[in-house]
Amino acid sequence: MKRTLSIPIVVLLSLLISSVAMAAPTQAGGYYYTVRFGDTLFSIGRAAGVSPWTIASVNGLVNPNLIYAGQVLWIPVQTPPPPVCGYWRVVQFGETLFSIGRSTGVSAWSIASANGLYNMNLIYAGQSLWIPCQ
11-20, 46-55, 97-106, 125-134: which range is least confident on average? Answer: 11-20
Helix 97-104 to helix 108-115 angle (10° resolution) is 110
Are 132 and 114 within 8 A, CB to CB? yes
CA distance readout (Å), 74 to 9, 35, 93: 32, 11, 32
> What's the CATH architecture for 83-134?
Roll (3.10)
Task: Tell me the pLDDT of the chain averaged across its residues.
Answer: 80
* Start and end residues for every CATH 3.10.350.10 domain found in the chain: 26-81, 83-134
What number does CATH give the domain 26-81?
A: 3.10.350.10
- 66 phi and psi, to 5 degrees? -115, 85
pLDDT-based confidence at 119, cuts 50/70/90?
Answer: confident
Are 34 and 49 within 8 A, CB to CB? no
| pLDDT value of position 108 | 93
Are 72 and 33 within 8 A, CB to CB? yes
Is pLDDT above 80 for 1?
A: no
pLDDT in tens, 34-91: 898 888 998 888 888 888 888 999 999 988 889 998 999 998 876 555 566 888 899 9
Question: Any bridge partners for residue 33, and if so which?
Answer: 73
